[in-house]
């Protein structure tokens, strides 16, 4: 019995060791993936590609294919990263957000923070102004607003807290800054509006058919 108990304990210990090793490997894989993602966000070209991929995935998951376009020419030959056909016009989305000075701000010393914050907010102001100029064109068929997509909740909430007045001013000019979470809510509302319009159009057709009968 003592021998059996010892053997059983050995197998249990071996099994526990294997489980611990597997957990450690999974934790390392998650850590490596996080570091890889963090490195991608530091490189402008890879960051832009990541933003485009996440944006396209969200649109494909939440909207029917006939409601959105990816990198198509729209007003005056402009090419937004995406555009949504809505009841209020074409909603253009830009996801190339300037984050270089934000990365420097996060890693800055206490003496450097104020300077990098000014540079980052200057970058944001210039980028949002360009979106307003290129994509808020109701006379050309756009909606009265466009979306500036930030693929990072951390950056979005930093702006909400540190630059609320800036976001509010550009919101009045028709540029709405969104994160993955807030964009998801907006897509649900846009889809509901299009669905309601289609139901209304179908109701009108049915009414006309009844009158014809």
Q: Write the pLDDT tens digit of every residue in 69-83.
A: 999 999 888 999 999
Cβ-count burial 120-131 (b if 16+ within 10 Å, e if not): bbebbeebbeeb
Q: Is the CB of residue 130 less than 8 Å from the CB of residue 174?
A: no
What phi and psi, each to the nearest 5 degrees, are found at residue 147? -115, 135
Residue 160: what pLDDT? 94
Give residue 206's pLDDT: 65
Residue 99 has pLDDT above 50, yes or no: yes
Is the pTM higher than 0.75? The answer reads no
What mean pLDDT do residues 147-156 have?
Answer: 92
The share of the chain scoring above pLDDT 90, in percent, equals 46
Mean pLDDT of the chain: 79
Tokens of 15: 């099994």
- What pLDDT was estimated at residue 106? 87
Sign of CA dihedral 129, 131, 134, 139: negative
Span 130-159, mean pLDDT? 94
Average pLDDT over residues 172-177: 96
The per-residue pLDDT for 48 is 54
pLDDT tens column, 27-61: 455 444 434 444 444 545 555 566 788 899 999 99
Closest C-alpha among 77, 87, 187, 90 to residue 146: 90
> C-alpha distances in angstroms, 50 versus 22, 23, 44, 62, 158?
29, 28, 10, 18, 20
55, 178 Cβ separation under 8 angstroms: no
Residue 164 to residue 158: CA distance in whole angstroms: 9
DSSP lists the bridge partners of residue 116 as none
């Amino acid at each position: 019995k003592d021998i059996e108990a010892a053997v059983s304990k050995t197998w249990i210990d071996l099994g526990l060791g294997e489980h611990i090793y597997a957990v450690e490997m999974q934790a390392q894989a998650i850590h490596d993936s996080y570091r890889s993602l963090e490195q991608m966000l530091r490189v402008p070209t890879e960051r832009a590609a990541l933003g485009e991929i996440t944006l396209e995935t969200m649109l494909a998951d939440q909207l029917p294919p006939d409601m959105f376009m990816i990198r198509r020419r729209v007003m005056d030959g402009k090419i937004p990263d995406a555009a949504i056909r809505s009841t209020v016009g074409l909603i253009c989305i830009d996801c190339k957000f300037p984050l270089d000075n934000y990365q420097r701000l996060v890693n800055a010393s206490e003496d450097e923070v104020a300077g990098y914050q000014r540079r980052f907010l200057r970058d944001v102001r210039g980028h949002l102004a360009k979106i307003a100029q290129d994509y808020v064109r109701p006379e050309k068929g756009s909606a009265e607003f466009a979306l500036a997509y930030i693929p990072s909740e951390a950056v979005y909430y930093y702006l909400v807290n540190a630059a609320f007045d800036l976001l509010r001013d550009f919101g009045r000019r028709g540029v709405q800054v969104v994160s993955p979470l807030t964009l998801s809510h907006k897509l649900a509302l846009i889809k509901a509006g299009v669905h309601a319009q289609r139901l209304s159009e179908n109701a009108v057709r049915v009414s006309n058919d009844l009158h014809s009968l």
